[in-house]
């Protein structure tokens, strides 16, 4: 699944209009009293920040990530204000400064059931708009939780695109438009405002340009194949992959699937062996090896090996091998989404072993699955590593903020409380005491209180 077809956008008219219907759901946030702020007629807005938190319970390949989604939503939000004539020019000293905060949960059909699907459904979201004046933040708009009920598109057509991705992009644009609409409706009417429909073409071009750039970003970045795993570890695998004993090779394939391994030389050896097998009539043991090799190759998460799997899926002599290769194309896509997170370079001021680096990147990702794996492995393997524990402690700050992330991260945050509490490091006592009183989730508060007691002197 990719964006390449989405880039083939046909604009039918000069208008870029998204019509949508929103339902207000039961508010998931605490009630907050919003003081009445009266703005002068003719006010225009300067956007000082556009904070966006994309939360998803599943990391499905192909969708825009948080940064990408934020970029296109920002363009849509600004376009909506500019079209109404209420977006200030850069040098407007009378502009009212605003900060926008959007909490957005991407939702998939069936994700709350034992049979989740990769098909995206209508997102949940709520938003806040603050006014900034003389270093003071004043709440101006607080929405209840909202969800798109029906959406119709006019003026733009996604030709031949994967509907799933197109729907997600349209949902994002519609949400940004709705946030802008909330601000527009609260803005005092004025004859000073001049509607500017021509501005839409400028923003259309920006969004198209962004989508084109996102497609380029889907290629493997250089760091995915960067050698950081110890040479001794790599050479041990290479030796086993070249062993004359087929059982030893199969064991190596199976072990590669259990770790996050990115050595190109090793995967090239696997590819070469597969290319020598897939068109032949295979014995039972050869088929076992070929299938294990396909699974190991898919576990790499490196898109450069996707063509190999596609070739085998179409042209292998064995039907069983073709089926295994077909299934593992999806595995490679899933692993690629996670490999992008796990193999990231460390910040310059951090020095860790390669195993610790992978755990650090797991807990610093926004992938709930990787975060929970990471925190549990730290608990078992590195219970006193201060660099990892400090990172976990910092991540616990998110537990105090109302929103989807705190709710969906409750298990992860509870595990952090356990790890910090069992570390025997009293430096984390204050953090656990604070979380006991301020975490938004009751389970996290209870775990923080329980494991703070473990650090009592």
Residue-wise pLDDT tens digits, 413-449: 999 999 999 999 999 999 999 999 999 999 999 999 9
Angle, helices 246-257 vs 231-241, to 10°: value is: 140
What is the average pLDDT value for the chain, to the nearest integer?
Answer: 88
Which of the four pLDDT bands, split at 50, 70 and 90, describes residue 118?
confident
What is the mean predicted confidence (pLDDT) over 402-410?
Answer: 93
pLDDT at position 250: 98
pLDDT of residue 34: 65
Is the same domain home to 215 and 90?
Answer: yes
User: What is residue 33's predicted lDDT score, i.e. its pLDDT?
Assistant: 56
* Domain presence at residue 4: no
Radius of gyration, CA atoms only, the chain: 26
Mean pLDDT of 107-124: 87
pLDDT given at position 31: 47
For the stretch 53-92, pLDDT in tens is 999 988 888 889 999 999 999 999 999 999 999 999 988 9
Q: What is the pLDDT of residue 38?
A: 79
Look at residue 154 in the predicted model and tell me its pLDDT.
33
Residues 72 and 197 in one domain: yes
Instruction: For residue 214, name the pLDDT band (cuts at 50, 70, 90).
Output: confident
Q: What is the 3-state secondary structure (H, E, C) of 281-343?
A: CCCHHHHHHHHHHHHHHHHCCCHHHHHHHHHHHHHCCCHHHHHHHHHHHHHHHHHHHHHHHHC
In a domain, 40, yes or no: no
CATH classification at residue 208: 3.40.50
Identify the domain boundary among 186, 219, 252.
219
Do 192 and 268 fall within a single domain?
no
pLDDT attached to residue 16? 42
Give the confidence band of 14 by pLDDT, cuts at 50, 70, 90. very low
Q: How many CA atoms lie within 13 A of 435 on its CB side?
A: 35
Question: What CATH number did the domain enclosing 306 receive?
Answer: 1.25.10
Verify that 401 and 311 share a domain, yes or no: no
Question: Between residues 103 and 198, which one has the greater pLDDT?
Answer: 103
pLDDT digits (tens, 9 = 90+) for 161-200: 577 888 888 899 999 999 999 999 999 987 777 777 778 8
The range of the structural domain enclosing residue 260 comes to 231-343
Reported pTM: 0.84
Give the percent of the chain with pLDDT over 90. Answer: 68
Q: Is residue 36 part of a domain?
A: no
Q: Give the phi and the psi of residue 133 in degrees, each rounded to 5.
A: -145, 120
412 within a domain of the structure (yes/no): yes
pLDDT tens for residues 313-328?
A: 999 999 999 999 999 9
Number of domains in the chain: 3
Same domain, 215 and 240: no
Question: Looking at residues 306-315, what average pLDDT do you find?
Answer: 98
23 belongs to a structural domain: no
Same domain membership, residue 154 and residue 67 = yes
Residue 352 is assigned to a structural domain of this protein:
no
Same domain, yes or no, for 162 and 80? yes
Together in a domain, 89 and 213 = yes
pLDDT tens digits for range 346-394: 999 899 999 999 999 999 998 999 999 999 999 999 999 999 999 999 9
The larger pLDDT score, comparing residue 169 to residue 37, is at 169
Under the phi-then-psi rule, with left for phi > 0, alpha for psi from -120 to 50, and beta for the rest, what region is 155? left
Contact 66, 54 (CB under 8 A): yes
Rounded average pLDDT over 216-229: 84
Residues 213 and 308 in one domain: no
Specify whether 305 is located in the same domain as 441. Answer: no
Q: Are residues 321 and 415 in the same domain?
A: no
Q: What pLDDT is stored for residue 150 in this prediction?
A: 58
Asked if the structure places residue 29 within a domain, the reply is: no
What pLDDT was estimated at residue 27? Answer: 42
pLDDT score, position 179: 96
Decide: residue 119, CB within 10 A, 0-12 exposed, 13-18 middle, 19+ buried.
middle
- For residue 24, is it within any domain? no
Which of 172, 199, 219 is where one domain is finished? 219
Is 21's pLDDT higher than 90? Answer: no
**Statement to judge: residues 237 and 182 lie in one domain:** no
End position of a domain, from candidates 343, 377, 394? 343
Count of positions (residues) in the chain: 457
């Amino acid at each position: 699944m990719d964006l390449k077809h989405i880039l083939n956008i046909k604009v039918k008219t000069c208008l870029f209009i998204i019509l949508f219907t929103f339902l207000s759901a039961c508010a998931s946030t605490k009630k907050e009293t919003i003081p009445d702020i009266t703005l002068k007629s003719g006010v225009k807005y300067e956007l000082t920040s556009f904070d966006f938190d994309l939360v998803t319970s599943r990391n499905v390949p192909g969708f825009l990530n948080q940064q990408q989604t934020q970029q296109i939503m920002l363009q849509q939000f600004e376009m909506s204000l500019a079209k109404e004539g209420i977006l200030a020019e850069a040098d407007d000293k009378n502009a009212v400064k605003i900060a926008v905060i959007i909490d957005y949960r991407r939702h998939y059909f069936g994700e709350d059931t034992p049979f989740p699907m990769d098909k995206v459904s209508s997102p949940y979201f709520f938003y806040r708009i603050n006014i900034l004046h003389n270093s003071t933040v004043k709440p101006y708009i607080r929405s209840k939780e909202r969800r798109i009920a029906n959406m119709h598109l006019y003026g733009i057509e996604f030709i031949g695109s994967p509907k799933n991705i197109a729907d997600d992009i349209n949902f994002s644009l519609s949400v940004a438009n709705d946030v802008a609409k909330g601000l527009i409706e609260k803005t005092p009417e004025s004859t000073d405002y001049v509607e500017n429909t021509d501005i839409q073409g400028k923003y259309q071009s920006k969004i198209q340009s962004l989508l084109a750039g996102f497609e380029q970003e889907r290629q493997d970045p250089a760091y995915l194949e960067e050698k950081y795993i110890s040479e001794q570890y790599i050479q041990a695998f290479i030796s086993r992959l070249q062993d004359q004993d087929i059982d030893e090779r199969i064991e190596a394939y199976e072990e590669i699937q259990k770790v996050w391994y990115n050595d190109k030389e090793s995967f090239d050896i696997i590819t070469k062996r597969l290319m020598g097998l897939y068109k032949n009539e295979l014995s039972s043991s050869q088929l076992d090896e070929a299938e294990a090799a396909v699974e190991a190759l898919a576990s790499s998460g490196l898109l450069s090996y996707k063509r190999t799997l596609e070739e085998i899926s179409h042209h292998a002599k064995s039907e069983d091998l073709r089926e295994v290769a077909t299934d593992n194309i999806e595995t490679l896509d899933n692993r690629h989404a996670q490999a992008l997170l796990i193999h990231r370079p460390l910040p310059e001021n951090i020095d860790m072993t390669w195993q610790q680096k992978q755990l650090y990147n797991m807990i610093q990702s926004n992938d709930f699955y990787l975060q929970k794996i990471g925190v549990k492995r730290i608990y078992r393997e590195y219970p006193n590593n201060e660099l990892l524990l400090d990172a976990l402690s910092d991540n616990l700050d998110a537990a105090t903020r109302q929103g989807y992330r705190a709710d969906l991260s409750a298990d992860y945050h509870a595990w952090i409380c356990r790890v910090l509490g069992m570390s025997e490091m009293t430096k984390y006592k204050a953090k656990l005491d604070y979380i006991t009183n301020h975490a938004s989730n009751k389970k996290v508060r209870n775990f923080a209180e329980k494991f703070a007691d473990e650090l009592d002197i």
